[in-house]
Chain A
Amino acid sequence: MKRKEFLGTIGAGLLGGAAFLSGCTKLLNQINPNSLTPNNFWKTASDAEANLTAVYESFLGTSGWGAAADNWYNRWVPALYRGDDIGITHDVPDWWSLALFTFSSSNGEPSGNWNMNYTGIFRANQVIEYVPGINMDTTLRARYIGEAKFLRAYYYFNLLTNFMNIPLITSVSQVTKDNAQPQAKPSDVWAQIEKDLTDAVAVLPATYDAADQGRVTKGAALAYLGKTQLYQKKWGAAAATFQQIIDSKTYSLMPNYFDIFTNDFNQEDILEVNYAGGTFKGQAIKNVRTREEGPSEAGGWYECFPNQWLINEFMKEKQTNGDLDGRMYGSIIWPNNPQLFYGDTYTQLFGAGATKTAWRKYNDSYMSNLIQDYGDKNDKVVRYADVLLMQAEALVQSGGSTSDALKYINMVRGRAGLSDFTGTAKTDILNEIEHQRVLELSDECIRWYDLWRWNGNITGTMNIKQALKAHGAIGADNFVIGTHELLPIPISEMQTNPKMKQNPGF
């Protein structure tokens, strides 16, 4: 080749290259091929439904050890382990220290609870903020927003009753800077919860058809509204709210106590977490209770079990026919329970002379096989018996009808085979309400919050520390009044939010 040809080739090469380069510059404009963006979402009714479903997901919590996390973070661990009616084993240090009242802000349980509820709130805020802009059936749209408001209230209720001093966030934050929010006054959070629940009551239906079962109902919203008022000692308002549930005649007690726990969506259920014991599109929708609480002899982890105090409470009063309280057979595995557990008698399962106790309710012990996996039965959040007892309490405390209060107490007693309670002194009735709540709702994640809202027993003659001590709770001695009523703000929040103040004593 001659020199000129060389030059020509080089020149062409350079020019070609430059053109090539400018073309490739366009390659720099890339759209994420893996995800939707806000620009093409929140457009249709199905977008609204999917967004709402994500709010429900926090109600269940599909994360956590292959099964639903709600059981741990919202209900199971913080409620049961601080209570006075259980004993616990100790293979999970975080739970152990919760029961011992030696927990610190780095305990994983408070952070699990915190994160899960605030995730739900973030998603609920999206529905409440963006769904109104979607062009769709207006009734359905209102219902969706009502469901989201209920769930937001539920998440705030959990946060408030555990941490008390929490940020109140009711809109979608988009700014990456300065998204650290300070703690709100607890009264403002209570007010927001009441407002959301009141809004929800107005638009939610009393029941759903089978396809929508599991969604929150008007009854659930009323029950949580009543509970919210009860926790604030707004006795009269609470009584009026609970009365709406009773008057609606939507709910009635199951005739047989143990059947409550083997039947999903039964006539007594007002709000429950829906489990199926299976995996759906890779998501485990399984109840962890049976595995976590089941005795090790049956393949469970035996994390906690009923303590002696609870058994003594059950033994206090017998049925009219002389037999033990029917709820004791339904609630507890102990040597004298004649039922079969996992297909075995007590002695076959535990051996002669064993004295071990375990929970019977929620666990699949009525089935004949040993525990191999997690369970499929729903977790009860609010059921009618709880509402009846709360209404009795609200009536007594507000100076309402004593006979109505006794009527509701005796509905609950009657199902257990007990004769009618006839006491009339306010203190006696209140003590009976507490006693019935202990027997009726054991292992249902309610006892600690009763202790907490009463700050001890229902009549105020014992503080929490004294109640824990009197009932043989293992952490009673470590309980510090003024500190251990609340969980510490999680270290993950403390480490990222400079505006956050730690709860006292942590």
Chain B
Amino acid sequence: MKNRYWQQESLCRGITKILPLLVALFCVTIGIEPLMAQSNFQISGVVKDASNGSTMPGVNVLIKSTSQGTATDLNGKYTLTVSSPQDTLVFSYIGYESKVVPINGRHVVNVSLVSEAIKGQEMVVIGYGVQKRSDLSSSVASVSTAQIQKNATLPNVAQALEGTTAGVNVSPSSGAPGASINIRVRGTNTMGDNNPLVIIDGSPGDLNNVSPEDIQSIQVLKDAAAAAIYGSRAANGVVIVTTKKGHSGQTHVTIQSSYGIQSPTKFIPVANAEQYATIDNALHLTTNGQVPVFDALKNPSSLGVGSDWQNLIYNSEPLWKAYMGISGGQNNNTWRVSGSFNKQNGIATATYYRKALLHYNGQQETGPITFGESISFTDENQRLMPYGGDKDLTQQIILAQPIIPVHDSTNDGGWGGAPGYLATQAFNPLGLIELQKNTNHNDNIRADVYGQFQFLKNFTYKLNAGYRIQDTYYQGWTPTYFMSSQRQNIRATLSETRGRTHHWLIDNTLNWQQTIGKHNFNVLLGFSTEEQHYRYTYASQESFPNNTLHVLDAGLGYSIGAGGQDIRWDLVSEFGRLIYSYGDKYYVTANVRRDGSSRFGSANRYGVFPSVSLGWRVSNESFFSSLSSVITNLKLRGSYGVLGNEPNDPNAAYQDAYAYQPTIAYTPALGYLYGGGFLTGAAQEAFVNPDVKWETTKDLDVGLDAGILNNVTLSADYYVDKTNNVLLNVPVPPSTGTSAAPLVNTGKLQNKGFEVSLTYNSPQYDNNFNYSITGNISTVSNKVVKLGYAGQIIYGAAPHRASTGGVTVAQVGYPIGAFFLKQAEGLFQSQAEIDNYKNKQGQLIQPNAKPGDVKYKDVNGDGMISNADVAYSGSPFPKFSYGLNFSANYKNFDFTLFLQGTYGNKMFDTNTWITNRGTLDYNFSTDLLNAWAPNNTNTNVPRLTFNDPNHNSDPSTRFLYDASYLRFKTAQIGYTLPKGLLGHLGVSRLRVFVNANNLLTITKYPGYDPSYSGDGLLNRGLDQGLYPVARTINGGIDINF
């Protein structure tokens, strides 16, 4: 038995070894086609969208009855050499009706294609296949690839998705170069990982590993009926990316290069040196009557402005990008190769991100068999914020005292430090950023191959195999330095972590497609196996001969550390789908998937996820014909399904991958030093839940798609998602002796909302001017329906640098991450007001208060103010979010403007809070210059009190802000040079453009960026002081050959 198991396992593993070989073989057999330069008849032209006259990139242009052809460039232009002026051209594009045009001896052939979307004939990619949009009865959004490619100056595709699709919320995890992007499809369904599953050319992947220019299409599967084919990982939605393929015919080259400048958009107002000394002296004077308490601050006016750390650290920095794509093919053998390089310096000194990407797509047809392969390589280099990373350091920057000199050549390292005691409060942040070098270097290689048989006319069998290796390497280096005796590093430290992830996937699918009379059938059966294996090694040394040697072997061995872990998970699945339609009027889609996951105990390992959807094309009914001249298309849809969700990213912690197995920690961390030496200790340190199982989301969606006249398309959806058995790390009371929260299926979440997307295309007056407007708006209402044991409330993180307990909660009846804060009700203006604020027993509710202190509401009515006096203060979720896209063409100019925003969400600004506290001697907000005083009573800033007996400095509603915003996200102007100018250089098209990102944000929010989504679900609205986002102005050029 055991032996057989081993054999099966090694078979699975064997595939992983064979795959790269297979891929290599394909590469060799295909070769790269030489540039084909036929000397015959040259033609060129422009392809436009008939509905609005906008040019269409990527349109396939084929010479009829041959496999020769080309595709249009980014501006819709093509050039082609044909052997005879009497040939016929075929123009085709996904979602448009193909057009056949005889050349008839012309050198210029311009064509307008008619969108099938208007007629409902657009093709969309769904899981394991494609489907006509008209046949869809579920909610699938197609992202405008034009929009993405307009934003191609950004290094991450996900950033370009922001605001383009109703119900899809995209926000950066921070402004740091290379920071990950959070994507939320229809709000938040789980306490765990809420990022959607991303499928790139059939295999799970990462959007970071695709160049925007390589994308053919992106579909977002939003409802259960659409996503259920991905079963257990689909609860957060599925994003399906299809990359561009080559075309038969002439070799086609696209080059894009851009250069930009990023600059900081906002600084937090903090005191300069003179103001700092003034405030600090006043704080100590009002508190203990000491003035001034620090010698260095004795004479404020002599200090001047001092060091403005935000200005010193955040600068304008460049962003550069180059992309080249080459495609071509011959007969039934097509290929496309592309490469891109991004280089971005962060706006914070020394931080950077570099990414190189190579991508290859090929396809070979021989009779009924088609082979295809997609290979990509990504190399990323990143230098991070040092110290505690983003959060810690950005806060240090605003907290560093302005009296710290930037440089001091007498110090080891050359950086200045604060004098005496003040050095215990803050350090030189610029010095630390320059000194500490923490870098990430990641390599990602993926290869997907497929073979497809078509047989018996209506059957297709496909074997798809994917293999991915990701290598991660982190290096952290801190040299010796001296800023002050409290801020020094006496031994240099070096630590390195190397990790490798192997991931393989094998899908087998069998498809049957047949039309019998008015009945259309499309049936899919499949099974899939997937494994991920991650292993990392860590090592560190302390103490080096000097600061120039950065390898472990050079360490002097003062302290040596090492570690590593091994994590594996598997997923084994079977699935099926039936798509049925009758007479282009009635549509049914049914999915079912059964997943087995290694991440659950044997009792709960399998989950079954069914879904069904119905559609009715009302506009094809005969009774509708009187309306059809106005409403060209109307379809009603409804769907219901069950989706699953697994625990968090299994690489995040081994507890997640083996959540159901209890462990004994046997580690030096539990060791003790006896007289005879150090012994390692062992103990059970956490509880586990052996019954952990699938989360299930039940999703109901109703919607409609409509086309009005030939100018307007409308899509609207209403949905209700209910997630049961939500997997929560339920905190256990610390009195159990463990703070590790076991994963438990408990709790119920509900999301419901509307999504509307509306597009208007201008009637085509002439070829000189046309425009289109697309708007989308969506609402998400999130509610915790049930939670924990016996009504337990789960708290989020405390604001950074505070031990105040969480300010956000998951509590039944409220949105997840709702703010629960002390309720500030203005300031006491007089002792009489304090004396009148009494409880039932006649005792003062705030006995420690003095005039100028904050008045808090006694929420629980116990007659005093404590940490129990918190109340619901707002939701981190917007009432609605929206996007508005305007694009226009005028002669050779093109113009795009994209606005995006949210309304009604709240955020707690840790930066404002921490600089307003005035309970320590680090730098202060300039607000404190306007503190309450007997002669300055018309203010909302409490009195200066270092001891703060009234807890003015506690997190309260004083620091909760409306984070609604409207952002001019992108604006772009392009100009395409007239054709004649460069034709003789072989350039078919040359366009120059200027674009701006984050041009302007209108908001009342005082922090760096209202669009942050904090760390994790519960802390969504908690602005922890992350790396600020930049405004970017780019100039660039597109060239096509």
Residues in chain A within 8 A of chain B (CB atoms) = 3, 6-7, 9-10, 13-14, 17-18, 20-21, 23-38, 41, 47, 49-57, 59-60, 62, 89-91, 93-94, 96, 100, 102, 104-108, 111, 114-115, 118-123, 125-126, 166-167, 169, 172-181, 208, 210-215, 265, 274-276, 279-283, 285, 296, 298-302, 370-373, 478, 490-498, 500, 502, 505-506
> How distant is the Cα of A205 from the Cα of B558 in the complex, in angstroms?
36
Contact between A500 and B9 (Cβ–Cβ < 8 Å)? no
Q: Which chain B positions have C-beta within 8 A of A177?
A: 789
Contact between B527 and A53 (Cβ–Cβ < 8 Å)? no
Partner of B420 from the list A7, A26, A296 (CB cut-off 8 Å) is: A296
Contact between A57 and B671 (Cβ–Cβ < 8 Å)? yes
Question: In the complex, which of the residues B8, B485, B559, B664 has the most CB atoms of chain A within 10 Å of its own CB atom?
Answer: B664
Contact between A10 and B664 (Cβ–Cβ < 8 Å)? no
Given contacts A126-B683, A176-B730, A176-B744, contact A104 B867 (CB under 8 A): yes
Residues in chain B within 8 A of chain A (CB atoms) = 5, 7-9, 11-12, 368, 420-421, 423-425, 453, 455-456, 459, 461, 463, 485-486, 488, 490, 506, 508, 510, 527, 529, 531, 542, 558-559, 561, 565-570, 572, 574, 596-598, 602, 605, 654, 657-658, 661-666, 668-684, 687-689, 730-739, 742, 744, 789-793, 795, 798, 803-806, 848, 864, 866-868, 919-921, 946-949, 951
> How distant is the Cα of A370 from the Cα of B670 in the complex, in angstroms?
31
Question: In the complex, which of the residues B670, B733, B735, B789 has the most CB atoms of chain A within 10 Å of its own CB atom?
Answer: B735
Q: Which chain A positions have C-beta within 8 A of B806?
A: 495
Q: Could you show 19 A-B contacts with beta carbons less than 8 Å apart?
A: A10-B459, A33-B568, A34-B654, A36-B682, A96-B947, A105-B866, A115-B734, A118-B736, A122-B738, A123-B737, A167-B733, A208-B675, A212-B674, A283-B671, A373-B490, A478-B949, A491-B804, A496-B733, A502-B868
Partner of B598 from the list A30, A123, A265 (CB cut-off 8 Å) is: A30
Question: In the complex, which of the residues B565, B733, B798 has the most CB atoms of chain A within 10 Å of its own CB atom?
Answer: B733
Given contacts A23-B8, A296-B420, contact A276 B735 (CB under 8 A): no
Given contacts A23-B11, A176-B742, contact A493 B947 (CB under 8 A): no
Given contacts A35-B663, A105-B866, contact A213 B674 (CB under 8 A): yes
Q: Which chain A positions have C-beta within 8 A of B558?
A: 279
Contact between A28 and B596 (Cβ–Cβ < 8 Å)? yes
> How distant is the Cα of A118 from the Cα of B738 in the complex, in angstroms?
8
> How distant is the Cα of A178 from the Cα of B687 in the complex, in angstroms?
12
Q: Which chain A positions have C-beta within 8 A of B687?
A: 173-176, 179
Partner of B673 from the list A100, A106, A280 (CB cut-off 8 Å) is: A280
Q: Which chain A positions have C-beta within 8 A of B602?
A: 29
Contact between A115 and B674 (Cβ–Cβ < 8 Å)? no
Q: Which chain B positions have C-beta within 8 A of A497?
A: 733, 735
Contact between A276 and B673 (Cβ–Cβ < 8 Å)? yes
Q: Which chain A positions have C-beta within 8 A of B737?
A: 118-123, 125, 169
Contact between A104 and B866 (Cβ–Cβ < 8 Å)? yes
> How distant is the Cα of A212 from the Cα of B676 in the complex, in angstroms?
6
> How distant is the Cα of A262 from the Cα of B702 in the complex, in angstroms?
78
Contact between A178 and B485 (Cβ–Cβ < 8 Å)? no
Q: How far is the CB of B860 from chain A (nearest CB, A)?
A: 11
Q: How far is the CB of A230 from chain B (nearest CB, A)?
A: 26
Q: Which chain B positions have C-beta within 8 A of A173?
A: 687, 736
Q: How far is the CB of B14 from chain A (nearest CB, A)?
A: 11
Given contacts A115-B734, A371-B485, contact A60 B672 (CB under 8 A): yes
> How distant is the Cα of A26 from the Cα of B597 in the complex, in angstroms?
11
9 additional A-B pairs beyond A54-B682, A180-B733, A493-B735, beta carbons within 8 Å, are: A29-B598, A94-B803, A169-B735, A176-B689, A210-B676, A279-B542, A301-B424, A498-B790, A502-B868
Q: Which chain B positions have C-beta within 8 A of A178?
A: 789
> How distant is the Cα of A119 from the Cα of B683 in the complex, in angstroms?
10
Contact between B572 and A114 (Cβ–Cβ < 8 Å)? no
Question: In the complex, which of the residues A3, A102, A283 has the most CB atoms of chain B within 10 Å of its own CB atom?
Answer: A283
Question: In the complex, which of the residues A115, A167, A177, A211 has the most CB atoms of chain B within 10 Å of its own CB atom?
Answer: A177
Q: How far is the CB of B667 from chain A (nearest CB, A)?
A: 9
> How distant is the Cα of A105 from the Cα of B8 in the complex, in angstroms?
57
Q: How far is the CB of B814 from chain A (nearest CB, A)?
A: 15
Given contacts A23-B9, A210-B675, contact A90 B529 (CB under 8 A): no
Q: How far is the CB of A103 from chain B (nearest CB, A)?
A: 10
Contact between B867 and A56 (Cβ–Cβ < 8 Å)? no
Partner of B947 from the list A59, A100, A169, A506 (CB cut-off 8 Å) is: A100
Contact between B679 and A498 (Cβ–Cβ < 8 Å)? no
Q: Which chain A positions have C-beta within 8 A of B689?
A: 176
Q: Which chain A positions have C-beta within 8 A of B569?
A: 30
Contact between A57 and B486 (Cβ–Cβ < 8 Å)? no
Given contacts A35-B663, A114-B735, contact A498 B670 (CB under 8 A): no
Q: How far is the CB of B3 from chain A (nearest CB, A)?
A: 12
A-B residue pairs, 5 tightest by C-beta: A122-B737, A213-B675, A23-B8, A211-B676, A108-B803
Contact between B664 and A285 (Cβ–Cβ < 8 Å)? no
Given contacts A27-B9, A27-B531, contact A490 B671 (CB under 8 A): no
Contact between A35 and B736 (Cβ–Cβ < 8 Å)? no
Q: How far is the CB of A129 from chain B (nearest CB, A)?
A: 11
Contact between A106 and B867 (Cβ–Cβ < 8 Å)? yes
Partner of B680 from the list A107, A115, A166, A281 (CB cut-off 8 Å) is: A281
> How distant is the Cα of A263 from the Cα of B819 in the complex, in angstroms?
53
Q: How far is the CB of B631 from chain A (nearest CB, A)?
A: 45
Contact between B920 and A90 (Cβ–Cβ < 8 Å)? yes
Contact between A93 and B919 (Cβ–Cβ < 8 Å)? yes
> How distant is the Cα of A34 from the Cα of B663 in the complex, in angstroms?
9
Partner of A51 from the list B463, B598, B683 (CB cut-off 8 Å) is: B683
Q: Which chain B positions have C-beta within 8 A of A215?
A: 674
Given contacts A17-B527, A176-B687, A213-B676, contact A53 B682 (CB under 8 A): yes
Q: How far is the CB of B427 from chain A (nearest CB, A)?
A: 12
Contact between A20 and B529 (Cβ–Cβ < 8 Å)? yes
Partner of B803 from the list A106, A114, A495 (CB cut-off 8 Å) is: A106
Q: Which chain A positions have C-beta within 8 A of B570?
A: 24, 27-28, 30
Partner of B683 from the list A54, A214, A283, A500 (CB cut-off 8 Å) is: A54
Contact between B665 and A13 (Cβ–Cβ < 8 Å)? no
Partner of A37 from the list B5, B8, B662 (CB cut-off 8 Å) is: B662
Name the residue on A nearest B574 (C-beta): A21
Given contacts A167-B735, A179-B687, contact A492 B948 (CB under 8 A): no
> How distant is the Cα of A505 from the Cα of B863 in the complex, in angstroms?
10
Q: Which chain B positions have C-beta within 8 A of A496?
A: 731-734, 792
Q: Which chain B positions have C-beta within 8 A of A370?
A: 485
Q: Which chain A positions have C-beta within 8 A of B508?
A: 13-14, 17
Partner of A500 from the list B459, B733, B790 (CB cut-off 8 Å) is: B733
Q: Which chain B positions have C-beta within 8 A of A281?
A: 668, 671, 678, 680
Q: Which chain A positions have C-beta within 8 A of B527?
A: 17-18, 21
Contact between B682 and A41 (Cβ–Cβ < 8 Å)? yes
Q: Which chain B positions have C-beta within 8 A of A28?
A: 570, 572, 596-598, 605
> How distant is the Cα of A59 from the Cα of B368 in the complex, in angstroms?
74
Q: Which chain B positions have C-beta within 8 A of A265?
A: 675
Partner of A30 from the list B425, B455, B568, B803 (CB cut-off 8 Å) is: B568
Contact between A179 and B732 (Cβ–Cβ < 8 Å)? yes
Question: In the complex, which of the residues B456, B486, B677 has the most CB atoms of chain A within 10 Å of its own CB atom?
Answer: B486
Contact between A104 and B561 (Cβ–Cβ < 8 Å)? no
